[in-house]
């Protein structure tokens, strides 16, 4: 290559580089604007132990479902305001998803009052509410809890949990061991090999823009996440 042609190639290279810089100057703000305008939700769910109230179907002809209270926290982790217009609940099965009467017990607030949708969240804002999620219990579990309900309303999560543990059971028919320790209170151990009896739920929240944000959870998964939370 002659000395005369070098400046031509150099000039062309600089022109191409300048063009790429100009394109990037246009594309990058567009990409950033697009990312900044996207909706984003963070969702956590955990069973409401302690004073959470169990719900049992009053009509055995229509449903044998027992509903466990769960606390959901939904956070707007994006940079735009969004509206949560609705939610849906499904139970995950080995063959797909299922729905049955009593699966969704509705949303309530901390005072057990109706929690309405839609809910609008500014960027960085969060809301918490209760969902009662149902499952079909084994016969012995249902009998114990219904006897408690008939004799002592309301039935709390902890009261039901302890009553079942004394019979060697969990809510979902797993194996539990109950012990009373002097000066220490009650201790319940659950056989981890029976965690597969826990129902797995898919709860999906829809926004006004047509986006859906699902969470998949079960009681054993939720408790494991609590124990491993930094």
Overall average pLDDT of the 116-135 stretch: 95
| Calpha distance 27→19 (Å, rounded) | 12
How many residues in the chain?
Answer: 230
Q: Which two tokens stand for residue 168?
A: 């060697």
Query: Which pLDDT tens digit goes with each residue over 15-47?
Result: 555 555 555 565 555 444 445 578 999 999 999
Query: Which pLDDT tens digit goes with each residue over 74-98?
Result: 999 999 999 999 999 999 887 778 8
Q: Parse the chain into domains and list their residue ranges.
A: 1-36, 41-228
**3-state secondary structure (DSSP) of residue 208:** coil
Residue 227, classified by CB atoms within 10 Å of its CB into exposed (0-12), middle (13-18) or buried (19+), is exposed
pTM comes to: 0.78
Task: Using the structure block, give the residue that is written with the tokens 């719900």.
Answer: 55
| Calpha distance 210→219 (Å, rounded) | 29
Residues 6+ apart with CB under 8 A from 184: none
Q: Which two tokens stand for residue 226?
A: 């609590």
**Superfamily grouping for domain 41-228:** Immunoglobulins (2.60.40.10)
What pLDDT sits at residue 101?
87
What pLDDT sits at residue 188?
86
* 230 or 92: which leads in pLDDT: 92
* 200 or 61: which leads in pLDDT: 200
CA angle 65, 97, 200 (to 5 degrees): 60
| Calpha distance 230→215 (Å, rounded) | 20
| Calpha distance 217→86 (Å, rounded) | 19
Residues 6+ apart with CB under 8 A from 198: 172, 174, 218, 219, 220, 221
Kind plus residue range of the DSSP H or E element containing 180: strand 176-181
Task: Using the structure block, give the residue that is written with the tokens 């995950």.
Answer: 92
pLDDT at 7 over 70: no
The rounded Cα 228 to chain-centroid distance in angstroms is 17
Beta bridge partners of 181: 185
pLDDT at 201 over 80: yes
Task: Using the structure block, give the residue that is written with the tokens 């790429």.
Answer: 20
* 155 or 84: which leads in pLDDT: 84
């Amino acid at each position: 290559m002659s000395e005369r042609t070098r400046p031509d190639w150099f000039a062309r290279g600089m022109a191409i580089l300048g063009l790429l810089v100009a394109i990037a100057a246009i594309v990058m703000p567009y990409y950033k604007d697009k990312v900044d305008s996207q909706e984003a939700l963070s969702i956590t769910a955990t069973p409401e132990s302690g004073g959470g109230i169990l719900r049992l179907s009053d009509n055995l002809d229509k449903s044998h479902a027992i509903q466990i209270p769960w606390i959901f926290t939904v956070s707007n982790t994006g940079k735009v305001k969004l509206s949560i217009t609705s939610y849906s609940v499904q139970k995950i099965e080995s063959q797909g998803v299922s729905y049955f009467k009593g699966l969704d017990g509705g949303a309530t607030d901390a005072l057990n009052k109706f929690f309405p949708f839609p809910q609008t969240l500014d960027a960085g804002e969060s809301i918490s509410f209760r969902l009662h999620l149902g499952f079909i219990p084994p016969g012995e579990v249902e009998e114990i809890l219904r006897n408690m309900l008939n004799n002592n309303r309301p039935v709390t999560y902890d009261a039901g949990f302890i009553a079942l543990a004394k019979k060697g059971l969990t809510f979902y028919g797993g194996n539990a061991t109950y012990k009373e320790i002097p000066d220490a209170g009650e201790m319940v151990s659950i056989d981890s090999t029976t965690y597969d009896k826990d129902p797995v739920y898919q709860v999906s929240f829809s926004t006004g823009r047509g986006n859906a944000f699902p969470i998949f959870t079960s009681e054993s998964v939720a408790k494991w996440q609590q124990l491993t939370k930094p």
